Amino acid sequence: MTTTLRPTVPLQQGADGAKSRRYEVCVNSRPVGTIELVTEVRHGAGAGRIAALAVDESDRRRGRATVAMLAAEEVLRGWRCDRVDISVPAGAAAALRLVAALGYTERNINMGRPLSGPAPELPTGISARAMTQGEFDAWLARTRVNYVQGLTRRGFPEKAARAKADADHADALADGLATPDTYLGVLTRDDAVLGTLWLALRHPFLGRTGGFVFDVEVAAAYRGRGHGRSLMLLAEQRALDAGAEQIRLNVYADNVPALRLYESLGYEPQMRHFYKQLL
């Protein structure tokens, strides 16, 4: 049997050079599923993505998805991509086994938890306030550097990482410290700044109003003292005050201490994101 990809639409190409195309997955010319491929200019000129893959129930567990993904990688190579990304729901055990078997590396995980009840209290002696403009300027410069370094350690070329950091921060913080529906705060004890929090207060996902924790950072001099947990409690406070029903965050898959903290607070994986270098 021969498994092939058959285009169902013409190649779509945007003004910025981004490409996309949908295909049928065929076995001896018989359609058994679909796959969609895109390039992500925002992630660098060589970034491709398997945006969707589905195999008909009656044809599953026969290697169709495996061959389809390998064929998709060849298409992306033809589009001059040198990296392919794919996202998999955390509960999709078969898909997770497949991407692992094909050599994909997990980059990051989206986690979340429902919010209800009274807002949690901060530990005794700990308080929070909004960032000042000077604190925001210093924090933004530091956060951008950290973001670029995090991406380059996980498969992004440096130029692409810098471009993505610029674009993401410009989108999410369009008005700087005054960006609507955004909390930018510092955790304090007496006059000492223990850490910082960046929280989007209106981030819709899963059909509900939710908050999204974009960044939590404990100051270097105060790490290892439980202040990361306090920052997360602060995020839940502010999200609940804004009427959020859920809160979500993104964490790098190799950041074990952060994963353990979020798990201890009741956060569960929702979507896992993988990448693979195309040789």
Over residues 22-48, the pLDDT tens digits come to 999 999 999 999 999 999 888 877 899
Q: Is the pLDDT of residue 74 over 60?
A: yes
Q: Is the pLDDT of residue 207 over 80?
A: no
Q: Is the dihedral of CA 171, 176, 182, 184 positive or negative?
A: positive
The pLDDT of 203-214, averaged and rounded, is 72
Q: Is the pLDDT of residue 156 over 90?
A: no
Q: Is the pLDDT of residue 204 over 60?
A: no
Contacts (Cβ under 8 Å, ≥6 apart) of 95 = 65, 88, 89
The pLDDT of 240-258, averaged and rounded, is 94
pTM comes to 0.92
The pLDDT of 225-240, averaged and rounded, is 96
The pLDDT of 103-129, averaged and rounded, is 95
Buried residues in 162-171 as b, exposed as e (16+ CB within 10 A): bbbbeeebee
Q: Is the pLDDT of residue 205 over 90?
A: no
Q: Is the pLDDT of residue 203 over 90?
A: no
Q: Is the pLDDT of residue 85 over 80?
A: yes
The pLDDT of 2-8, averaged and rounded, is 91
**pLDDT value, residue 208:** 60
The pLDDT of 235-248, averaged and rounded, is 93
Q: Choose among 185, 192, 195: nearest CA to 125.
A: 192
The answer to whether the beta carbons of residues 246 and 114 sit under 8 Å apart is: yes
Q: How far is CA 69 from the centre of its chain?
A: 21
The answer to whether the beta carbons of residues 264 and 106 sit under 8 Å apart is: no
The pLDDT of 45-61, averaged and rounded, is 93
Give the residue ranges of DSSP H helices in the chain.
64-78, 93-101, 133-152, 158-172, 227-241, 256-264
Across the chain, what does the average pLDDT equal?
93
N- to C-terminal Cα separation, the chain? 27
**pLDDT value, residue 209:** 74
The pLDDT of 207-236, averaged and rounded, is 92
Q: Is the pLDDT of residue 96 over 90?
A: yes
Structure tokens at 161: 């990482």
Please tell me which residue, 16 or 276, carries the higher pLDDT value. 276
**pLDDT value, residue 206:** 46
The answer to whether the beta carbons of residues 186 and 222 sit under 8 Å apart is: no
Q: Is the pLDDT of residue 61 over 60?
A: yes
Q: Choose among 262, 260, 265: nearest CA to 249.
A: 262
Structure tokens at 15: 């003004």
What domains are defined for the chain?
3-81 (3.10.450), 113-271 (3.40.630.30)
